[in-house]
Amino acid sequence: MPHFEVLKSNGDLKAILKSAFDVNLDISGSWGYTQKLATVFTVSDVPLMQLEHMFASMRAYTEMNMILEKKERYGSINLNELQREQIVVDHLIYDKVTYQITAMKEDIYASFIKAYKEGYGKDTFDMTEHFNQRKKATLERIEVHWFEIHKVLRVN
């Protein structure tokens, strides 16, 4: 299993997301690796679970693609929520969410797409084998994200 760098934010998470993804989120804190390094959501028009998934996807894409050398980058990055629990610590409410992240090296993914496009519909193309090989080439990680959400939950 490859090692992915733990991202640092130095208090500028909102600016990082704006620069990297051109999104404006009312967000602070850190990348959510632990409860103490939680991502803090303050206001959102987006449903909370959707916002958490969107942020977790941006974190995974940053870790697995943006900061890596071109030959080491992953594409086809997908997240699936496996588990969720709400935890209260010192009067603060957190969502601790576990995601399954799947991805494939970009160059390998591109070769599978090319093979699919060239082979689809031909008698010689074994679609079952093609997808079996894709599955074998897919990396799977399990990652936990901590989100501080008590400010989003407050009703004025």
pLDDT along the chain (156 residues), means of 10: 87 90 92 96 88 96 96 96 96 96 95 92 90 94 96 64
Separation of alpha carbons 128 and 140, rounded Å: 20
| Residue labelled with tokens 């991502």 | 39
Looking at residue 155, what is its pLDDT?
Answer: 46
User: CB neighbours of 21 closer than 8 A, spacing ≥ 6?
Assistant: 58
Is residue 118, in this structure, part of any structural domain at all? no
Looking at residue 154, what is its pLDDT?
Answer: 60
Is residue 131, in this structure, part of any structural domain at all? no
Backbone phi and psi for residue 143, each to the nearest 5 degrees, phi listed first: -130, 140
User: CB neighbours of 20 closer than 8 A, spacing ≥ 6?
Assistant: 58, 62, 66
> CB of 48 within 8 A of CB of 41?
yes
Is residue 134, in this structure, part of any structural domain at all? no
Is residue 4, in this structure, part of any structural domain at all? no
Backbone phi and psi for residue 117, each to the nearest 5 degrees, phi listed first: -65, -40
Is residue 6, in this structure, part of any structural domain at all? no
Q: 78 forms bridges with which residues in the sheet?
A: 102
Q: What is the pTM of this model?
A: 0.89
Is residue 121, in this structure, part of any structural domain at all? no
> CB of 104 within 8 A of CB of 75?
yes
What residues make up the domain containing 55?
13-103+140-153
Amino acid, res. 14: K
Is residue 149, in this structure, part of any structural domain at all? yes
Separation of alpha carbons 138 and 130, rounded Å: 13
Looking at residue 156, what is its pLDDT?
Answer: 39
- What's the domain count of the chain? 1
- Dig out the tokens for 134 from the structure: 């894709």
Is residue 28, in this structure, part of any structural domain at all? yes
